Structure 1
């Protein structure tokens, strides 16, 4: 049994109420118009007989026909299945009528109606008389009938009950057929409209359990179709987020487990005396490096989370970009020295930019560390600054192994590594993701160009400071 608060029930009941109300309104208007049309038809019938009867009575009076002959000749016209016609006097006594023998009988017409007719009006009224529904039309005749100066023609329509019964029967039959037909159509329409909603409700239960394999099958461009597409898109995004969450936990666990395992192994070796005294300082240094690696991973992870959640703001200032890069090169000199790398910095001017100095240092450091990581021993790394309109272009180029074109879009993902199977490089794969997020905050894009065996170039632009632009214009 369906619940009353379901959308299907609400749609079905609402549509049914509208249709039933509309049909009832139609029936009411139709019945009212039928009522007016029926009475208008009676009045037209009365007028037709009235126009024929007055000359006929004058003719009878002219040729001095006896009353019985006139009554007999008129009785056939006065006695019809649907109505009777009477000629009465001011006292409502029959002069002529459908029954020739009923002369002087009083016709069932109200006194008030006779008085209105004698006042010169054509009067019509309907109502129940002795339990029978009738419609009466009466008017005076401009002719002397049997010595009566003001004869009255009365027409009584006595079959109204049958007329109304027929109409009511047809209305009820039509109403029932329409309701049954509309109900069946509404049932299927409501079911069709709510089918994707019920499917989405059922599928959402699977999504809540982490199963994103199902999607809503609804091919339409209406609002429900758009909702179904949005629902499917949401499922894909949730599935992607769930995959990233699992991958994130797996990567963090892996990246933390490796240094922790190394530190634990070194501590055990130190405690049980496996490592001789003269070698302890070396292993203490390894433990320090592993600890710093874990701290860097945690800091980068927290920094990446803040950037993605939008909790990190940037503070734009004007500063010397050329000086900043020189300072970073000196700071990273120990990393360059380990692999005997040749750092070549190319800049034709002292460039001042408008950016967040601290965040841009993170960007340049991460790009240089990435270049160091993928460069071979004794290889060069080029850093270039060049003016492009009102901005300066920064590019960092290494000459290492390069990246496949199919993987260029993936390098910005957290914990992504170009070749997990072969790489012996350190790092958790967060550097480029942090770079992309910081540059997004600066509303600038980073481009990458790479060829296998030739190296990779990362480049982006920063707006020049207004002071720099003015000073260069003066020069």
Structure 2
């Protein structure tokens, strides 16, 4: 039973279905959220305390005044009529800071402060007297654009019920100070939050730079550099250094495995090519001298010879790739006239293409620097690929032209085309688009060899294709002229 090791998922379970986001974003938002909540809580607590300091003292004074008022009225009532006693207490100098009025049980005012009669505008006085939400305990309300601490309730001395007693203090100036302080505190908190968020984002980004550096360095490592490339960091945190060391150890293991694989492929290909070449030679010799062979025997020998030849080509391709991987693929770069080279390639391809290769007229002379024999091999591989996947009666077009500082050589066919999702992978080793291409006789190495040879000569190769309209393989080299 095959065992598969899985990497454990980390993170809260409620994030499982969320799209992944960067560590920098997670840390920034998380720390900023905690900082905002904390700073907002401090701001709210400070605002509440300031309000308490500005308002609560008025509430306490009003509550003390109500208690003292009842006591004074009781004393004065022993010496004069009750209504007169109430008015006398209201007119005491110590009580003139508050607005006080008393209503009898019929709702008529029987006593009120002098300042309520003289200092308050009539409309404001009427608004205060007619205010219907008067609380029993001192509270803050906004009446006619001003802020007041007010309270009201039943007024009874002994067994005698006067009616209702109302007391009001104007705290507009204090409350405006509170609002001003609150606005300043909110703006200061917002400014502090912006500075805090900026500082946190900068610090987190700076802290994660070593990880980004590791990612960039790892992204540039190719298979050919596994044994030489190592991740090196300066002044990185210990956790990041540990990650880099772990990656370097992994690169060592990958380099060893890759080297063993290349050696195995090269050795096997080399060892098998010689006996298969001998077998293929004997089969061809037997077919040439086999006048007494029956038709069935001849067909069997021809099939065996064809498979041996295909296997030899496959081993040859593997050897070419193994040499390229080991850096032992020798290329002799020299100036080449593209016009003459393409004429030679077309002439060579006519023997197996049955006249289907067409060379488009080239304007002027095109010159590049490449290995002539290897470039012929590249073009013949592309032509062979085009012939395999095109209808037998459709032509294969070769053309070349100059674009700015480069020369483009194109091989065009009218085959079924290559899906867009496969175009980026067709130059990989042993990659085939579908089973139809496998039945066409391909090994999946032809285009990989084309890419290896072209890039070894300093060029590039690509493909443009649409389904049902054919494919165009383009080999590009710097213009040598």
Task: Say whether the fold is shared (TM-score over 0.5).
Answer: no
Q: What is the TM-score of this pair, normalised by structure 1? A: 0.42
Q: What is the TM-score of this pair, normalised by structure 2? A: 0.42
Larger C-alpha radius of gyration, 1 or 2? 1
